[in-house]
Amino acid sequence: MNSAAKTSGPTILAIANQKGGVAKTTSVASLGAALAELGGRVLLVDLDPQACLTFSLGIDPEDLDLSVHHVLTKGLDPTEVIVTTEDAVDVLPATIELARAEADLLTRTGREYVLKVSLEDLDEYDWVLLDCPPSLGVLTVAALTAAHGVVIPLQCETLSHRGVGQLLDTVHDVRRFTNRGLTVWGVLPTLYDGRTNHARTVLDTISETYDLEVLEPPIPKSIRFAEAPAAGRSILRTTRRHRGADAYREVAKHLVARKEGRTP
């Protein structure tokens, strides 16, 4: 049986890479919208103090009294903080206060488990996607500890893979100490420019070097993605047919197949 298959409760995926600008947040928003289109009940969790995910879903962090920070450091029930959006997904939003959570948690016993415990009773969701910050700090480790699987967005450029080894070391540590069941679901190639052979070569090198599955198809580079956050809507909602949106839809289908144990 697939280790990710669960009989109840959501499948929790951490979208992680300590490098910034590799489309973690865009992938969380787009995969979330795509999974919702497929009938999934989806919660997105913003774990980045920059709150880009929160903002991209049309929520101004400045308007929020409560955020994920209160869940992590004050033990507030997430259902008191979760916001529903026009994109048919729910979000556990972040504000800049989250920057302090990292320091607050550093001296706390059990800090690695703080997110896992908070998400434990959210049985009303099929999917929880965790938008990790661009670091391998407390919040990313807490996300990996809470997750069943990790998806690694990767920009197909020379040297972009230098951080992957470090991330995999962290995954290895998490597996040893806090979450034995964690599996890497794969690398998601993003900002992909198919006109260059170079991108393809980088991709092949990465999957061989680290023995990682590559989630296909690669997500093409498109100006539409850059425009979406300001609109407060995912491009899956604003643009019906778009090759970038369709690529995320395909990837979402693979995730569903894996959750249902239809792929090895």
Ligand X SMILES: Nc1ncnc2c1ncn2[C@@H]1O[C@H](COP(=O)(O)OP(=O)(O)O)[C@@H](O)[C@H]1O
Burial class for 212, CB neighbours closer than 10 Å (0-12, 13-18, 19+): middle
Per partner kind, with CB cut-offs from 5 to 8 A, the member of ligand X, Mg ion, none near residue 179 is none
- The Cα 187–Cα 260 span in angstroms is 20
- Specify the residue for token string 């090198």: 205
Instruction: Tell me how far, at minimum, the Cβ of 15 lies from Mg ion, in Å.
Output: 9
The pairs formed by 211-214 with CB atoms below 8 angstroms and a separation of 24 or more are: 212/152, 212/184, 212/186, 212/187, 213/184, 213/185, 213/186, 213/187, 214/186, 214/187, 214/189
* Closer residue to ligand X (CB): 20 or 261: 20
* Closer residue to ligand X (CB): 24 or 148: 24
Q: Candidates 4-12, 70-78, 110-118, 223-231: pick the segment binding ligand X (CB under 6 A).
A: 223-231
Binding of ligand X by 26 (CB under 6 A) = yes
Instruction: Tell me how far, at minimum, the Cβ of 153 lies from Mg ion, in Å.
Output: 9
* Closer residue to ligand X (CB): 21 or 165: 21
**Binding characters for ligand X, 51-90, by CB under 6 A (x = yes):** -x--------------------------------------
Binding of ligand X by 155 (CB under 6 A) = no
Binding of Mg ion by 25 (CB under 5 A) = yes
- The Cα 21–Cα 102 span in angstroms is 21
Residues near ligand X (CB under 6 A), total: 18
H helices within the chain, ranges in order?
A: 24-37, 52-56, 68-74, 98-106, 114-118, 138-146, 164-177, 197-210, 223-231, 235-238, 243-259
The binding site for Mg ion (CB under 5 A) comprises 24-25, 48, 52
The binding site for ligand X (CB under 6 A) comprises 20-26, 52, 134, 190-191, 219, 221-222, 225-226, 229, 244
